[in-house]
Amino acid sequence: MLAQWPRLLASKGVEDLVLVNNVSDPSADTLTLSTDIFRCASLQRLFLGFWTFPNTAVLPRGPDVFPLLRELSMFATTMTDGDLDYMLACTPSLETLALIFNLTPDRVHLRSKSLRCVLLWCSMVEEGVVVVDAPLLERLILFEGPPGPDAGQVKVKIFGAPKLRVLGYLEPGIHQLQIGDKVIKPNTRASPSTMVPGVKILALKVNFGVSKEVKMMASFLGCFPNVETLHVQVTPIIYSTVTLLDIISKNNQ
């Protein structure tokens, strides 16, 4: 019956589809998504929850798979790096991508001519996020990164995003920021090669009780010289002799 549903939806020309597997135990193995879902060329918005991607290497590839898809959201969905690359290659009209509570893929390579907004919410992207070629990308939202002190560093690399306007939350304690070929480190001096001048709204999450994070915050600010709105979340709340105004003042100098 499950295999028949996508075929029926495809024949009806469905445009909006929310397909969530109602699992009683979220830690249990999830069902494999039916490959027939990739025949719904009429889809414009797709939300998948609690599924495992099939082997996309053997599926038809190209812009005709999802030619009209504009919004793609995946919640607690298991997939490989190649599966995400496949979806981006098959969605020439995709504008919004959301990965929520996903344990995979290990890396997110954003290579899309149409993407405008990307959300990663509590997604365990161990190898990081790389904006390879996204000429229309305006918003990159990294919300609630990997939890715990042993989560390790997550790389955030920005190569090709000339229209990026909104970025955050960058966390100096978790994120390793790279602009082009330059890795941003504490006390890195700002230069044209390390700046993203288009960013107007920047959000940071900083522990002011950790000196390295405070120094990294100053270096991060130097990469975005034209920020008009700055959001700073202090976590955990610790009284410190270093204030946000001190950091901004030194950075302006």
Any idea which of 184-198, 207-221, 230-244 has the lowest mean pLDDT? Answer: 230-244
Give the model's confidence band at 154: pLDDT under 50 very low, under 70 low, under 90 confident, else very high: confident
pTM for the full predicted model: 0.87
pLDDT (mean) for 120-131: 83
* Strand duo 96-100 + 45-49: pairing: unpaired
For residue 240, pLDDT over 50 is answered with no
Nearest CA-CA partner of 19 in 38, 28, 201: 38
> What is the reported pLDDT for 163?
96
For residue 238, pLDDT over 70 is answered with no
> What is the reported pLDDT for 6?
81
Mean pLDDT of the chain: 87
**Cα dihedral 135, 66, 98, 113 in deg (nearest 10):** 0
- For 156, the token pair is 């955030």
Angle at 243 between CA 241 and CA 249, to 5 degrees: 125
> What is the reported pLDDT for 10?
85
Contacts of 139 (CB under 8 A, 6+ apart): 116, 117, 118, 164, 165, 166, 167
Please state the domain extents for the chain: 4-252
pLDDT digits (tens, 9 = 90+) for 25-70: 666 667 899 898 998 999 999 999 999 999 999 999 999 999 999 9
Backbone angles phi, psi at 166, to 5 degrees: -130, 130
Higher pLDDT, 244 or 38: 38
Backbone angles phi, psi at 178, to 5 degrees: -130, 125
Give the model's confidence band at 244: pLDDT under 50 very low, under 70 low, under 90 confident, else very high: low
- In terms of residues, how long is the chain? 253
> What is the reported pLDDT for 123?
75
Distance CA 123, CA 147 (A): 10
Nearest CA-CA partner of 102 in 128, 83, 79, 119: 79
Highest mean pLDDT among 71-85, 93-107, 115-129: 71-85
Distance CA 45, CA 76 (A): 18
